[in-house]
Amino acid sequence: MSQSAPIPEVEREAAELAALQRVLKISRGTFSLSVAVCNNVPLRNHIIEKVRSSCPGIEVLSVPEGVVDVYGWVLSQPRSSDPPALFIVDIDRSIRSDDKTYPALASLNASKDLWPKRFSCPVIIWLPEYAATLLSIHARDFWARKSHQFHFSAEPMTAMEVSRTVFHGGTDWALSLDADRKQFRIAELQQRLAEIGDSPGPEMAPHALAWMNELGVLFWFTGKTGESVAVHERALLLAQALQDKEATAIALGNLGVAYADLDETRRAIELYDKALVIAREIGDRRGEGNDLGNLGLAYADLGETRRAIEFYEKALVIAREIGDRRGEGADLGNLGLAYAAVGETRRAIEFYEKALVIDREMGDRGGEGADRGNLGLAYAALGDARRAIEFYEKQLVIVREIGDRRGEGNALGNVGLAYAALGETRRAIEFYEKQLVIVREIGDRRGEGNALGNLGNAYADLGETRRAIEFNEKRLVIAREIGDRRGEGNALGNLGNAYLSLGDARRAIEFYEKCLTIHREIGDRPGEGAGLWNMALALEKMGQRPEAIRRGEEALDIMKAIEDPNAEMVQRILDKWRKG
């Protein structure tokens, strides 16, 4: 999934921004220490620019990498005599995770009493979340001195998390073929299936089922989702005709996965349920575990994260019971994703690390790649984009080694997102373009949509709104073509954001309206919440506050229900609107 940017970044931080400006005013001419947490460099710079334009003369000092004595370095910088405030940014570049003694933090702690003596203005230290956490632990006394804290969070990054959907019957090698050979393989399979006919004898029946499965997955991958469903349905009919319960359960499961990818999640759940009944009936514990895991993924898509966690836990119990270590790794990874979705990032990291241990033990390189990618995402969510990139690079090595080109595309996209968070948008674009080349090469239409969406967002960050609109329109076309409803919703949301930033709130609202319809149709609760909040912000901008509050309250209800980590922030802004 691309960064769906459902909430225009700066507006939603209005309450925090107002608080920061108030503190600067109150504290003018006297020392005060504040920490402003912001995970996203462009967002941070945007906010700083905004503050500086309303309060000219603020000094911004960017600490170079490797500085240990931050206080001494700041002191050594030439300054105007009486700035209204001092912003210190980029200390995190000197906090390296490879030195657990964190000398820069220790030195900062030791300098706690020196600051008030030399500075008579508000000092605000800007840090990403992970660095703020480290500061609070390794520079306790310094942290205790701070009088204010602000939190500017970028919208949660829904990058390409690697959930472990279980396709029954491995098709990994098929998915790793390049686009031409995929087309060749599709033709070969179609020809074989045509030759076998609809009622194969016992010799060919198991092969017919396997080939239909592979063909269905290849169709899905190359964006022919309708054909994919049709083939899986044929497999289901054949399995039922043969009264082969095991094959029937497999076909039901695969059909479920196909519908899940068409974002017909409820239908997918029905199919998984049927498959689950059969798996239990024939005592196929492994199949039962697969179906439970897929049910978890489906409920996670619907935003019912707690329910998803219950399913993953049941699947985990089975995997452990039958000694299915691979399944265990997959279930742990999925549990991590679920905890990440409700904002429990540290807990998510614990699960990914457990999964990583198992996958390495089993030599499951594919799983290992997924774990490393997910760890990267978790660190990115904590604002540690550099560490995230380290994980993505390890993931890249693995996916290239095992020839998982689709994984390579995802990993490249994630590296791009991390650079985007570091403010290196041009570099991010380079990675998105590499991603685009690979996904086009292997005919991964869904991935192509994601890459285009990422490019659209990057150009939006660069302020090239027209170009952003172009990319999102291309993305919209692909999403509609392949029936990727979720992608369609994201593209519409991004287009809304783009028009809003061009000042065309009316048009933005039209897009949000369409986007909202889709999220509701596919039962995507997180998307629905974000969509409603976007509407609220656009309405507020048009001066329609009562309507904005009404939409905002609807959004808040959903966000609370799904334990969206942003609920608190939305609540605060709503309170402010009600008062104002």
Q: How far is the CB of 324 from other proteins (least distance, A)?
A: 10
Q: Which is nearer to other proteins, 185 or 440 (CB)?
A: 185
At position 465, the amino acid (one-letter code) is T
Q: Which residue has the tokens 């976007």?
A: 534
Classified as helix, coil or strand, 183 is helix
CA 68, chain centre distance (Å): 33
- The helix, strand and coil proportions of the chain, stated in percent and rounded to the nearest 5, come to 70, 5, 25
Residues within the interface to other proteins (CB under 8 A): 169-173, 176-177, 192, 195-196, 202-204, 206-207, 210-211, 242, 244, 362-366, 402-403
Q: How far is the CB of 129 from other proteins (least distance, A)?
A: 35
Q: Which is nearer to other proteins, 220 or 533 (CB)?
A: 220
Tallying the residues shown for the chain, one arrives at: 580
Q: How far is the CB of 201 from other proteins (least distance, A)?
A: 8
Q: Which is nearer to other proteins, 360 or 541 (CB)?
A: 360
- Rounded Cα distance, 179 and 448, in Å: 13
Q: How far is the CB of 411 from other proteins (least distance, A)?
A: 18
In angstroms, the first-to-last Cα distance of the chain is 37
Q: How far is the CB of 256 from other proteins (least distance, A)?
A: 20
With CA atoms as reference, report the closest residue to 67 among 41, 94, 46, 85: 94
- Rounded Cα distance, 144 and 122, in Å: 16
The number of beta carbons lying within 10 Å of the beta carbon of residue 29 is: 9
Q: How far is the CB of 388 from other proteins (least distance, A)?
A: 25
Q: Which residue has the tokens 């600051």?
A: 115
The number of beta carbons lying within 10 Å of the beta carbon of residue 324 is: 18
DSSP codes of every residue in 384-433: -HHHHHHHHHHHHHHHHHTT-HHHHHHHHHHHHHHHHHTT-HHHHHHHHH
Q: How far is the CB of 380 from other proteins (least distance, A)?
A: 27
CA 457, chain centre distance (Å): 14
Q: Which is nearer to other proteins, 202 or 580 (CB)?
A: 202
CA 443, chain centre distance (Å): 23
- Rounded Cα distance, 272 and 280, in Å: 12
Q: Which is nearer to other proteins, 208 or 411 (CB)?
A: 208
Contact yes or no for 275/284 (Cβ under 8 A): no
Q: Which is nearer to other proteins, 367 or 552 (CB)?
A: 367
Q: Which two tokens stand for residue 380?
A: 């990115």
Q: Which residues pair with 287 in a beta bridge?
A: none
Q: How far is the CB of 274 from other proteins (least distance, A)?
A: 22
Q: Which is nearer to other proteins, 5 or 399 (CB)?
A: 399
Q: Which is nearer to other proteins, 22 or 173 (CB)?
A: 173
Q: Which residue has the tokens 């205790």?
A: 144
Q: In 407-497, at which residue ranges do the beta strands (DSSP E only) sit?
A: none
Q: Which is nearer to other proteins, 119 or 167 (CB)?
A: 167
> Which H or E run includes 520?
helix 505-521
Q: How far is the CB of 195 from other proteins (least distance, A)?
A: 7
Q: Which is nearer to other proteins, 360 or 520 (CB)?
A: 360
Q: Which is nearer to other proteins, 301 or 364 (CB)?
A: 364
Q: How far is the CB of 402 from other proteins (least distance, A)?
A: 7
Q: How far is the CB of 353 from other proteins (least distance, A)?
A: 20
